[in-house]
Every structure is written in structure tokens, then in C-alpha cells.
Chain A
């Protein structure tokens, strides 16, 4: 079984399954608008000496996120800074429709830092068209959106076809399984706390 990158391992521990993410999506901004923001990431955001946590907070993202403990990894740091830029850019250039800031910003940071950054260099999200589209689609998904004009089925198929992780099928399978394991464990723990249902017979 393929060993998991520590960033991907941290992502699986969140137990966030793609199927659950897609199920909660609502129509979001146009994909091209998100890609345009990505192509305009300011250089200081992705400089080696950047302070990613300060950037995240300066861009108005509060709350906790799992990637915080892993920002010493340059890939995670750049992923977090680009996530922060997407939210912060709405103050500079105006909100998208609907606003990115209305979505789940901490999960956006985790998705870009832990899920996407280890499979595709964050700098390519800015300069490479295919990787930019992948990052834009992941950003929308993490925020609870799918691109304007796309249904869940089409949107998930398009992201799968771009997914850098899919180039390593074995790694993709391990990631999917570990995420699933966490999701089931979390669901069972939550379900226990929320009562079982009545039983009619002794089994």
C-alpha cells in the first residue's frame, strides 16, 4: 500500500469525503471569475519568506483549520496563502457572485494546503491553465459551491478528469479509503451521541 504524504494524511484525518462535499454544493460563482483571481495572486503571498498564518488572518479568515500545524511545509504554506488570497481579493476587487467569503473559508484553506498542494505545486495554479482550473474547481467545492451553470454530476466529473491525484491511482485509492474510514468513524461517533432508533425484537 502506498504511503501517504503527511499533508494528505492530515486531510484524511478530517474525514471529508468528496461525495459529501458534492452533496452540499449550491450554485456558485463562474469558474472563469475564480480562475481570474488565481492568476492574479500577488507575488508576496507565495514568496518563500511569506508568513502564511498572518496572511490567512489578515485576509479575514477566522476559526481553526487543520493545516495550521503544517504550515512549515512550503507546499502547505503556499496553498494556504493562495486560499487566503481568494477570500481577501474580494475586498480588493469586489465580491464574486455569490461571494467566496460566504463559504467555508477554513475548509478552503485545508483543501488547498492539504489536499491539492501535495499533488500539484501551488505555483502551477497561477501559471498553468489546467492546474489553475483544477485549483479553481477545488476552491469552489471546498467553499460549498459548484461552478455556475454546472450540475453536481458534471462538476464532479470535470474535477475528477483534472485531478492531479488521479495520475497515481494507487495513492488515490489509499487516500479515498483513509478518508472514508475517518468519515465512517466520525459518523458512528456522532450517531452514538444522537441516540439509536427504537428496536422491536431481540437480536
Chain B
């Protein structure tokens, strides 16, 4: 797209002038399929619906295009949860044949399997993919990798589609019916970050109702006021995002036209304060969903109590550092066995997050004293807030395999990186958080520390949210402000 932005500068021209622009987020860079492949059997009416949201006068810059690859005949299959009768036995039988386990003896039951971690998947993901898997149905899956290089795994088209229906069941349990509405967008997945994949899609298993992934960064929109008008026109039934992005909805210019049935937060911890503010502003349930890309949603909560483990092919354990189970009610590392993705049948996967298993009143397993997914905000020039995800994108783009980035109260930033182009990383960090950046390169991720340490820490307090348009409009101020 080369639509002219409000100031008369095209998206392409602006990216050309932006020292932090990443190639993969240039509009269309990662979109290669035709709409007929994204949604086989697309009707004329559906095509028009898609075009209307893509080319709306207030539409944001779309960096990507993607669909769910389902045919209408697949809808019923993915709308139902996978059966759970006897699933664990079958799951373990598949696991015994995986390259990672097949030379091990004595793997009779779940507890016999040695726990595995993200590092195991990183080192050889194929050892966790069944030898006889029909990979023709696999699509590319990538976890954000906020603590290290992105983890690339084979995703399953059906499993991806089922996550929508998992969400739908949760929303219906807390907010009442969620049915396709021809006058509304079904779901808006919002982000607020420097660069993001954004697109309009159709949900085949929800009567091909539109959904969209949009970036609330003002720089992504044609002119002031576009965000609010576009969101009001879409009036999404459900809004999902991370807490930093959802917080933007509290801005009256953004959220005034919204009336969601429910809001779902993910990726990092949702504070009680933000939950209360969103509930009060939109008069709807606010769900906090816990899961990792490689595991899919695992648990959720609709209040400040324990997370409730979702029904389905999920077993949650809590382990100590030696891999032994801790007692019920005691805090241990959350370790999961999940059987949703046939290309990645995980057994006793250490999540790096911590919590205590508890019995919930009325039945069900809960995770209490949850500790993990802390989100960090850095302070840029002039007190601007810089979300950690912006740093992650550049650390990964310049080849770092792991890192630890710490900002002191006075704003100075020290980064330790394993692998990667230290000079390029330093330049990117300077552009985001100011001049006082030191980068130390270590040889291996292990030298950064074992386990899942907090890879980002900031003792500095931002005073405002940063926008890409503000950065590019005021380069001189950036340089002069320091931190």
C-alpha cells in the first residue's frame, strides 16, 4: 500500500526515512498467497466484505495479509474441541516414538518422561515432530521470543482455527452468546508497538465474519481521528491484545465507539487496576488468558483469583528445579503436557513461569500465586514509553540468540547479548532508548544465566507512550534529549 499519510508522506517514503524500519514489516513483504488460497471457495460477497475493511478511508496501514486456509466444510470440525477420552495414553504413545525420546526406556507413564524446555525445542524442533507427521498441513508458527531468539515451530491449520473457538467458549461462559453479526467485525486483535503484522482476515468457521489485527500506534493511521472512526465502524464483538495495547482503548479518541462483548488479555500479566479500568470503561468481562504459542491457551481468569486450567488436552504440573513435582499449593515451575497440535505433541514442557496448583471451588484445577509474563517498559528520549517488544524485534533481526537488557533509573541501558551484530544492535537501541547504551557480547546464551531470568528490566519510569510518527518527526529532539 502506498496510500498517502496525513502529512503527505507515503508509507513507503516514511519507512525509507526510518532507521528502525524492519524489512519484514514493509507492507506486503510477507504476504505471498492469493486470497483464494487463504480462503478456498471465497464468495463474491465475502470478497467484497474483505475489500471494504481493507480499503476503508480510515483503514490503517496493512503490513500483511493472511487467512485461515479453511474450507467452509472444515468449519464444524474446528468449532468442536478435540475429544479427550483416552487422549493422554495416545499422546504418550506418539511421544515415545519422537526422536527426542525413542532411545529412552521405561517411559511407561507421564511422570517417567524427563521434562523438556524451550531450549530443547530451539536446538532441534524436529526431535519433537512425529516421524510420520504429514507435514503438508503444517504452517509457520513463531513465538515472540521475548527472552531470546524466536522459536519456530510447525503449526497446524485446524489447531490455529480452534483457538478462536476456545476463546468463543470462554466469552460465552462469561458474557453470553457470541454469534456472527453481519454488522460487526467478530474480533479485533490489537497491538500497540513500533512494527507489527497487521491484516484483515475472515473466520471461516464463524460464517466468514471478518477479524483484524491492527496496530494502535498512531503512526499506522492516515490521520488523527482515523483510529477511533475505524474502530467505531468495525465495532468488534471481542477485542484481544496485550495489556499495553488494551490500555490504549481507554483513550477516549480510540475507545469511544466500542461496545465489546468481552476483552481478552494475553502475553503478559494483566494488572488488577487495568482490568478494573477496562471493565468500568466498557462494561464487559475482561479475561486474562495464559498460554504460550507452542502450547496454545492453557488457563484463564476473569478476576484476580487463580487461573483456571482450560478443559481439553492439557495436563499441568508444577516442578522444582530438579524436575520433581512440588506439593499441591506450593509454587513450582508450570510444566505442561498438551495434545492440541499434532505436529508438536509436547510432554512435560517447562514454561519458565511459576505458580501453585490448587483445587478450585466447584471443581477444576487452578494456578495460584502465578509469577511470570512480567512486562517491561523502557524509557526513551523525552520520557517516552518503549515497550520491550520493540527491542525484541531488533535484537532478533540483528541475530541475537539471547539477551539481557537493563535500564537504570537514570536511563542508561546495558545490554548483554549472545550472538548477533553488536554494532547494529547498539545503533537500534540508541535510536529507541537514547545515547547511553552499552552492549556487551557473550559467546553463548548459557552465559546469560540458566532458567528463564527476567531478560528485560527497567528502573526508569516513562512519562508518555511513544509513537513512531513522533520519532520520525522529531529526530533532532531525540538526539538532544538523551535520557
Query: B-contacting residues of A (Cβ < 8 Å)?
Result: 17, 19-20, 23, 173, 176-177, 180-181, 183-185, 187-188, 191-203
Is the Cβ of A202 less than 8 Å from the Cβ of B240?
yes
The answer to whether A195 touches B32, judged by C-beta atoms less than 8 angstroms apart, is: yes
27 A-B residue pairs with Cβ-Cβ distance under 8 Å, sorted by A, are A19-B131, A23-B134, A176-B131, A177-B126, A181-B124, A181-B126, A184-B125, A184-B126, A187-B138, A188-B125, A188-B152, A193-B32, A194-B33, A197-B66, A197-B67, A197-B68, A197-B69, A197-B157, A198-B201, A200-B163, A200-B164, A201-B163, A202-B191, A202-B265, A202-B266, A203-B143, A203-B293
Q: Is the interface of A mostly helix, strand, loop or mixed?
A: helix
**Who on chain B is nearest to A184 by CB?**
B126
Contact A194 B68, CB 8 Å, known A19-B132, A199-B189 = no
Q: Are A203 and B266 in contact, with the CB atoms below 8 A?
A: yes
Within 8 A of A (CB), among B142-192: 142-144, 152-155, 157, 160-161, 163-164, 167, 187, 189, 191
Contacts of A200 in B (CB 8 A): 163-164, 167, 187, 189, 211, 240
With a CB–CB cut-off of 8 A, which chain A residues contact B241?
202
Residue of A nearest to B199 (CB): A198
Please, how many residues of chain B have a CB less than 8 angstroms from a CB on the other chain? 61
Question: Which B residue sits closest to A19, measured CB to CB?
Answer: B132
With both chains docked as a complex, state the minimum distance between the C-beta of A180 and any C-beta of chain B, in angstroms: 5
* Distance from B258 Cβ to chain A, minimum over Cβ atoms (Å): 18
* A188 and B154 contact, CB distance less than 8 A: yes
Taking a contact as CB atoms under 8 Å apart, the answer to whether A191 and B297 are in contact is no
Tell whether A191 pairs with B143 under 8 Å between CB atoms, given A197-B160, A199-B160, A201-B163. Answer: no
- Count of A-B residue pairs with CB < 8 Å: 121
Contact A198 B139 (CB under 8 A): no
How close is B295's CB to chain A, nearest CB, in angstroms? Answer: 8
**Chain B residues at the A interface, C-beta cutoff of 8 Å:** 30-33, 38, 64-69, 99, 102, 124-127, 129, 131-132, 134-135, 138-144, 152-155, 157, 160-161, 163-164, 167, 187, 189, 191, 199, 201, 203, 211, 213, 240-242, 245, 264-267, 289, 291-293, 296-297
Q: Which residues of A contact B240 (CB under 8 A)?
A: 200-202
Complex contact B189–A184 (CB within 8 A)? no
Beyond A188-B140, A197-B139: 19 further Cβ-contacts under 8 Å? A20-B134, A23-B134, A180-B129, A181-B99, A183-B135, A184-B126, A184-B135, A188-B138, A192-B140, A195-B31, A195-B66, A196-B155, A197-B157, A197-B161, A198-B211, A199-B163, A200-B164, A201-B167, A201-B266
Q: How far is the CA of A199 from the CA of B187 in the complex (A)?
A: 10
Q: Which chain A residue shows the least CB distance to B142?
A: A196
Q: Is A180 a contact of B99 with CB atoms below 8 Å? A: yes
A183 to B199 CA separation, bound complex (whole angstroms): 30
Least CB separation from A179: chain B residue: B131
Contact A194 B266 (CB under 8 A): no
Nearest A-chain residue to B125, judged by Cβ: A184
B101, chain A: closest CB distance, angstroms? 12
